[in-house]
Structure 1
Amino acid sequence: MSAPLLDVSGLTRRFGGLVAVDDISLSLASGEILGLLGPNGSGKSTVLNLISGALRPDRGSIRLEGHEIGSAAPHRIARLGVARTFQLVRVLPSLTCGENVLAGLAFGRDAMWGHAAEQRADALLARVGLPGRAATATGELTYIDQKRLELARALALDPQLLLLDEWLAGLNPTELQEGIALVRSLRGEGMTILLVEHVMDAIRSLCDRCVVMNAGRKIAEGSPDAVLADAEVIRAYLGDDDA
């Protein structure tokens, strides 16, 4: 069995007296989609922040292809092949759609500039459903199109590992199905994805395995159907009275 692309072991992060992430371990094989689930405030986004370098762990190991990245700066982790989207969409508002993607291309694993970068930016915008929108100001975009743009900028980094933080949240039913198809197609191209999500249709459609967190701790791991039927997971989401 080959070594995992991402191996997280004993990951812990405190904020004062709050243990936001408490001894979390998980791994992803190359080409896998792993769902990171749990009620609000369970520590999921903090795990993504730790993996992407936005936060430093207090304890534990984060290894990408066997190399420790837990103490690396975010830009170095991005150059090693980790890209992400954010729970609150973060586009660069003073730039056009094309310029947003060019920013990703300039700082990816293989920096790209000039005409070749412009062509690649056009292709990435088309890839996520924004064909011909390179000159469009970001302020003209709908919510779903801002999410598409943020994904295109992440893909511009040519990532080995893509971290999606509730990328499918807030979409109408048609947009949701389009989004699920897009994420599935990325996996079809061999991309490894760690997916924080609350949308159960997406979890069941996309995830090979799921890890469930509550109050910073891992409480379940397994197939989507198995973890969503787990009594402790049901209690975490619904409370003891409904479990």
Structure 2
Amino acid sequence: MSASLLTIERARKAFGGLIAVNDVSFDVGAGELLGLIGPNGSGKTTMLNLISGALSPTSGRIMLAGQPIGGLPAHKIARIGVARTFQLVRVLPSMNAIENVVAGAVFGHRRVWGDEAVDLARDLLARVGLKGREAVPVAAMTYIDQKRIELARALASDPHLLLLDEWLAGLNPSELQTGIDLIRQLNEQGRTIIMVEHVMDAIRSLCHRCVVMSSGIKIADGNSSEVLADPEVVRAYLGDDDA
């Protein structure tokens, strides 16, 4: 693996008596595309929330390129270089497509303004399949197109680390293949990505390595094909349909 970009050491998040993330540790190498998988309620989204600053860890350390980020406000972590999409899409509903993406350029890691931000947003919208729809209000867009907007907005900040929370969920087969190809291209261009995903075909296709969580605990970490064949992982998550 290349040098670690993200280091997580014994991260824990407790909500009263519920421990959603229980002393989880793993590294993500620069340029790596890591799959973070597990059954519903296993703590995957909570882990992304800890990395992105939506939640503060109860204990443990989270570092980006050696800089502690655990517990910092989300906007500061975004400026340092972490961007994300959400399991439930979050767009700026009063704005159109290009304005949503420009917001990512202005407030993200690599702050871009004016015509440069507009040009960047236009290029990113084309990249995610929304060329010619720059002026469409996002409130009038389909759920799938709103997901595309959210990804373009995350990319507009030029993050060191991109977090994708079930970005492929809900896509039809042709959209799914397009989405897989797009994520692969982003990674091949050097983007470090953690993807939380239930679409196992995408994990197998895209991720050389994956981390598996179950009930807040890391139960596996390694080569995706080996991990997905692990009997404990099959029992905890995949089940007969996906094994």
TM range (shorter): over 0.9
Match in the other structure for 1:184: 184
Match in the other structure for 1:163: 163
Secondary structure of 1:9 counterpart: strand
Map 1:75-114; keep pairs closer than 5 Å.
Answer: 75-114=75-114
After the TM superposition, list the runs of 4 or more consecutive aligned residues in structure 1 that deviate by more than 6 angstroms.
Answer: none
Tell me the TM-score normalised to structure 1 length: 0.96
Match in the other structure for 1:53: 53
Deviations 1:188-238 (A, max 9, x none): 110000010010110001102000000000001111111111111111126
- Counterpart AA for 1:52: S
Query: Once the two structures are aligned, what percentage of the paired residues are identical?
Result: 64
Match in the other structure for 1:63: 63
- Superposed displacement of residue 127, structure 1: 1.4
- Partners of 2:62 and 2:70 within 8 A in 1: yes
Q: How far apart are the structure 2 equivalents of 1:33 and 1:79?
A: 21
Aligned-residue RMSD, C-alpha: 1.5
| Runs of 5+ consecutive residues of structure 2 not aligned to the other structure | none
Counterparts in 2 of 1:239 and 1:187: CA distance versus 1, 3 Å? closer
Secondary structure of 2:88 counterpart: coil
Aligned length in residues: 241
- Superposed displacement of residue 2, structure 1: 5.2
| Runs of 5+ consecutive residues of structure 1 not aligned to the other structure | none
- Counterpart AA for 1:137: P
Secondary structure of 1:171 counterpart: coil
Match in the other structure for 1:208: 208
Q: How far apart are the structure 1 equivalents of 2:18 and 2:213?
A: 15
Tell me the TM-score normalised to structure 2 length: 0.96
Q: How far apart are the structure 2 equivalents of 1:117 and 1:162?
A: 19
Secondary structure of 1:49 counterpart: helix
- Partners of 2:82 and 2:109 within 8 A in 1: no
Is 1:12 the counterpart of 2:26 in the alignment? no
- Superposed displacement of residue 108, structure 1: 1.7
